[in-house]
Amino acid sequence: MCGRLLTQLAVIAILVQPCVAPSARAVENTDRPIAVLYRAKQSYQTAAKALETHLREHGTECTLIELPASKDKDGREAVRQRLIDMKPAAIATGGTSATTFALAVIPDVPVVYFLVPNARDASFAADDFEHRSRVAGVTSDISPTERIEWAIATRPGLSSIAILHGKGHEATVGDLKAAADAKNLRCTTILASRDTIPEAIEALNASGCEGLVMIPDSHVYNSATVQRVLLWGVRQKKAVWSFSENLVKAGALAGQHADYEAIGRQTADIVLKIIEGADPASIGLVYPEQVGRAFNKHTAGMIGATPSDRQLGTATVRYGGE
């Protein structure tokens, strides 16, 4: 009788076990911490702190580690040794350099990046990258479809756009062009650099485009060239769509940007999925889920852009009003 009762209890235990949330079981059994590696930059720090808080709320320990500049070889060697000794279950990395560093020095550990700009063109996002199977992450870029839809919403009747870009950003630009083609927008791509902005502006004028979609390309944009582009937009009555709320405040017609804290939480969710058994390669590159939008009413008046309140939406930050 007692033996039969024990058998029945064992069967019940087996049947009940799968009903426990897989994430709770996996995190409970994860005794290795998560390392969060990032450079000393406010955006990375904000995202990393939100990531840490989110992981701890889900019962997962993590350690924040600041990555020294590349010229500090001793500092980087100390970080490398610290990661090796820590034996993390996964490494979350803020930015391109931290991601490249982690992949190069720590083998066989999943790496989840965050706030990587133009991530489609990053070496670790390529299909043939040797460590592709253990990489996933959240780019700082807004999805190409969302960017094109926002351009259409803020410039009613839009039929053509242009993109300035430097070498090495072909995939990012190609995705934007494909999104424009899907919306029947003519898209002209122009290879440029900081030193060739005058020629690039001439090419913009020759293209007959109705506006410029900016990408975060340091080969093209700095404070001086951004001012040239914004001035071009006002003088030619062309729209400029930026990747920064500050640039909208400075005079771009409109823009979208990622929320750093939200990206930190989104990255933490990916980390949790991976330590629960998800394949990083199947997750791959992910775009921000929470997107901020900004619109400059003063610039709109100068160039003749007249979107409706419905097209702008209630969540849009608006500049240039009375």
pLDDT score at 319: 95
CATH number at residue 35: 3.40.50.2300
Same domain as 228, residue 273: no
- For residue 8, being part of any structural domain is answered with no
On whether residue 68 sits in a domain, the answer given is: yes
Looking at the fold, whether 75 and 109 belong to one and the same domain comes out as: yes
Residue 223, domain member (yes or no): yes
Average pLDDT of the segment spanning 246-259: 96
DSSP 194: G
Number of structural domains (the chain) is: 2
Residue 18 has pLDDT above 70, yes or no: no
Let me know whether 35 and 126 are in one domain.
yes
Residues 26, 123, single domain; the answer is: yes
pLDDT of residue 322: 56
Listed in sequence order, the residues at least 6 apart from 239 whose beta carbon sits closer than 8 Å to its beta carbon are 151, 154, 155, 158, 210, 211, 212, 233, 253, 254, 303, 305
- Find out whether 279 and 285 touch, Cβ atoms under 8 Å: no
Query: Which residue spans within the chain are E strands per DSSP?
Result: 34-38, 62-66, 90-94, 111-116, 135-139, 160-165, 186-191, 211-213, 239-242, 254-258, 285-286, 291-296, 317-319
Terminal CA-CA length for the chain: 85
Say yes or no: 208 and 313 in one domain.
yes
Quick: pLDDT tens for 133-164. Answer: 999 999 999 999 999 999 999 999 999 999 99
Confidence of residue 314 (pLDDT cuts 50, 70, 90): confident
Q: Are residues 199 and 113 in the same domain?
A: no
Which residue matches tokens 């500090």?
A: 72
Averaged over 217-232, what is the pLDDT?
96
Residues 31 and 79 in one domain: yes
Q: Residue 30 has what pLDDT?
A: 54
Cβ 185 vs Cβ 157: under 8 Å: no
What are residue 110's phi and psi, to 5 degrees? -60, 140
Looking at the domain assignment, is residue 201 inside a domain? yes
Structure tokens at 241: 């769509």
With a CB cutoff of 8 Å and minimum separation 6, the contacts of 155 are 210, 211, 239, 253, 305, 307
Q: Please indicate, yes or no, if residue 11 is contained in any of the structural domains.
A: no
- Domain enclosing residue 184, as ranges: 144-256+291-319
Report the share of the chain in percent with pLDDT over 70. 90
Asked if 148 and 130 sit in the same domain, the reply is no
Is the Cα dihedral 17, 21, 27, 30 positive or negative?
A: positive
Mean of per-residue pLDDT scores for the chain? 90
What is the predicted pLDDT for the residue at 12?
A: 36
State whether 190 and 114 are in the same domain: no
| Measured CA distances, 213 to 11, 111, 158, 188, 249 (Å) | 62, 31, 12, 10, 16
130/188 same-domain check: no
Tell whether 130 and 193 lie within a shared domain. Answer: no
**Model pTM score:** 0.86
Is residue 14 within 8 Å of residue 78, measured between CB atoms? no
Whether residue 159 is contained in a domain is answered as yes
Residue 25 — pLDDT band, cuts 50, 70, 90?
Answer: very low
Section 279-305 average pLDDT: 96
Contact in structure between 134 and 113 (CB atoms under 8 Å): no
**Band (7; pLDDT cuts 50, 70, 90):** very low
Task: For residue 5, tell me if it sits in a domain.
Answer: no
Residue 179 above 80 pLDDT? yes
Determine, yes or no, domain membership for 99.
yes
186-199: average pLDDT: 97
Asked whether residue 205 falls in the same domain as residue 308, the answer is yes
Give pLDDT tens digits for 28-73: 435 789 999 999 999 999 999 999 999 999 999 999 999 999 999 9
- Residue 297 CA: distances (Å) to CA of 152, 155, 307: 16, 12, 10
Q: Which two tokens stand for residue 285?
A: 């590159």
